[in-house]
Structure 1
């Protein structure tokens, strides 16, 4: 077949025009030969040397080559030898033309090089044309046969490609349907049933799905048959137990690879099935089968067994690929089933955890708020004591403010939990809104003064009595005012009241502080939202709780800000009533102190807690021995006498029970445990160590003083006998 270096030659080839190459070093002979062949109306190429002829052969093929024997450089014989070495031209007809009449030598040599003829000059044109025409005709027919063969091969290739494409399209459609059907259920059993129905009749006449059970045996989970009446018979197939690992059904599980047999006879059944089951298996009419494993979560959980009962039906590579892909998608579907099951369990656990968290937060907030109440009370009482040294007033004020902040945070957590569970309780009575506003302002006055903020109070509302829980409503005002102070570094704060347009009272609290970005306004009443995170502490619960409380009172609360640095205005609207009711106040009795000096061993690894308790106890006249670890406390307990052991429970180097046992053995000393844990199990653990009392941190100073009084007035012998 010719090469195609030029478009004209390609066109010529398809028009049945052949190419003839004439090689001669003499122009006159080239012209004579070319003239003699013009009548053939073929394409003629000329070359004046063997080298040029070889170059032309690299570019195209020729029907016949006329080759002069005597040429300078490469002669005709040498050129012919090189032509024959090239695979594309090794069979091209070569006619030698020579003027030398050395017939025997030249002709013999020419034919040895594969020449088809040897012509002496002068050439007779008619004879030359006849010989060349024969070779041209042969070349045309050969090329025609080649083209027909190529066209036929291309047709067969196209048909095969089309068949493959159609088969691939059918496979993809089948797998798409399989994926849809496999994800239609989130139950293991139904997924297996769907899988069996996919296999039959697309891949086999019947299908068995089995899986490994917890005991290590194999059990059937789904069957399908092209004849539904035969499915009951398939369900009677006996599966091997965990002790029958030689059974053929285990082969897929053991190898993790597909197992195929395209011929099932007595020998195959004898190799795979126990003798007692062979007759039954033979009755199923099995002619071939293929089993593929189901891989899920890194292990083989089951297998798909596809069975042909039609004579001659086999499982080829395409079918096995399709079965393998189906098994892979089934494994993904089963993984989805497992993920759904886990997600469902996680959701149930999360719901249970959420309920437990709400209960825990309510209990925790309550337990933390209880011991803080006497702390605040005693700090206020001590600060009002005329004899209190001036050096202690500032530390006590710092402590009071931080304890009040802690109390507020704990109250916020407790209230948030109550809001979440719908257990906010109101004790409504008729109260004066102006009085509650003034109380809230007074509580925050020290904060105004610390920042040098100008306070503007304008209480102009004529109707200012509402039916409300006074503590809760004051909490709302206090939250709003505290927020305003916290986010205002300079400027002023205005608290005002006015009569609402549609009745009721409208309270407005305006500040000149940082303001709120407009994008945050819609989230301002959500829990844990803050205008500036970390600014002034807090949990971001104040406004969320305030909104809930205002809603419970039948009112409305809104917030407005023009943007960053332009301040914020919070407005509260409440329905009013006519009759005011005064609110009575009560006094709390002061706690009593101890009556004699006590020798106290204080075991506490937290330095600040140890030092603060030591200072408090020494101020009351007691002698305190400080210890920060169990080792030091044991050394003191075995060498000194003590009236009381105050000990933390969570110590890094040992159990406080060792120290309690040591002081009790030496001197009958009573123990008081200090702990951040206050559950019943924690109290029981404390008693197991031998402690008499369990105090939850932060320590209830009033309760501690009662215990100190008890120790100071009751003899040790009596204390030791009381359990």
Structure 2
């Protein structure tokens, strides 16, 4: 026989979905006494007078803790615990064995082998039992709160990314038209307006172009993780060459020296690699004070031999450098270290890089000395290397 107590969770202020305790003992008087002892803890208490009845409850409920008598007719506590643990819902649930007879060491060893959280001898000290159960209940509730908060945070992030995608997508056309008509105005007004007034028109166009870039960057960021990531064999040297070709005018204007080792063939997303290299090379070219010739080196090597094999890419420059105190800030959206008048940008590029790389199982960090230069290091799993 088994009993399910359904009072209003036994305590004021209990959660809408209270934690559940399973008591298993073949003696009804023991169940009643233990239930009365634990009732003030605010948990829902379910009782069973046999191992078979306990297994039935495990199929229907998720428990925070199980108090299980060892000596029972038919299926004993050890057999019951072993069968309980075959259920996915029981993985990690603490089982406390309670016994009046089995005090020998080998019984305790057997309980430990089954993953028992504790092994208590009768007669039970009420204060000790209540204290131990309270600890397990608190841990269970904290874990449930964390899972709930994680779920809420994940949903909020998804909603925010959807909002960013929709807004930025819908903003593209009006900003494009703003830029276009400002251009028409500048052409039509040439020679008719004072220079100061024409400068205002140029300000409109410059900011429209800046907003267009920001919208594109937000769209790129919001797509990361929303669309399926397709991995293929990518020639990383070819991707770098294409990126350098796109910025060749900037390289020539600055007289920059860009070198690279023989970059490898890797299993990756070509889009991912292009976005990462565009941002890192672009930043290396941008963040220079003009006091010396910009130098950029891109290299790659295998790493992570003791764990998961990885490719390590380094993008090194001799620019203005970054204060290590800003190690997290630079990877946060819209967080900038410099005025846009000095170094234009949207503050989204590095956040996109990290999101992309982590989605693929890698990471990105940097080392820097202000006034000397910076090295950005990112890793990607080496899919072609034997584990």
TM class by shorter-chain length?
0.3 to 0.5
> What TM-score does the superposition give when structure 2 sets the normalisation length?
0.45
Higher RCO (C-alpha 8 Å, min separation 6): 2
State the TM-score, normalizing by the size of structure 1: 0.25
| Greater Rg by CA | 1
